[in-house]
Amino acid sequence: MKDTNAIEDAIRNKCKLELQSISASFMNELETKIRGEYNSANYYNFNGPNSKKDSFHVMGTVQLKGVLDRMLYNAHLDAMVEVKSRELIKKLELV
């Protein structure tokens, strides 16, 4: 890796893979239990917590996984990168 940006990008990608693994586990559980056992619909309606005006719909597990991945990235990616960066700096004994 040529510079610190490449290192941060690698850490960010590793964190994204970790979050994707979490969402894949959830999706597997959803497919196995809800869709498989109960043959439930594959249509998902999202409403904002305080308003029915903020809503959107997705059809199918591929779209649902995309929404879940983006939601996890927005909520947790920066914090994960920060923690993993500190761990790397500590391992390199730079602090």
Measured distance CA(72)–CA(41) in Å, rounded:
24
> pTM (2 decimals)?
0.81
Question: In which element (H, E) is residue 69 found?
Answer: helix 61-72
Q: What is the pLDDT along the chain (95 residues), one digit of tens a residue?
A: 567 789 899 999 999 999 999 999 999 998 888 888 888 888 888 888 877 678 889 988 899 999 999 999 999 999 999 999 999 989 888 75
Measured distance CA(55)–CA(59) in Å, rounded:
14
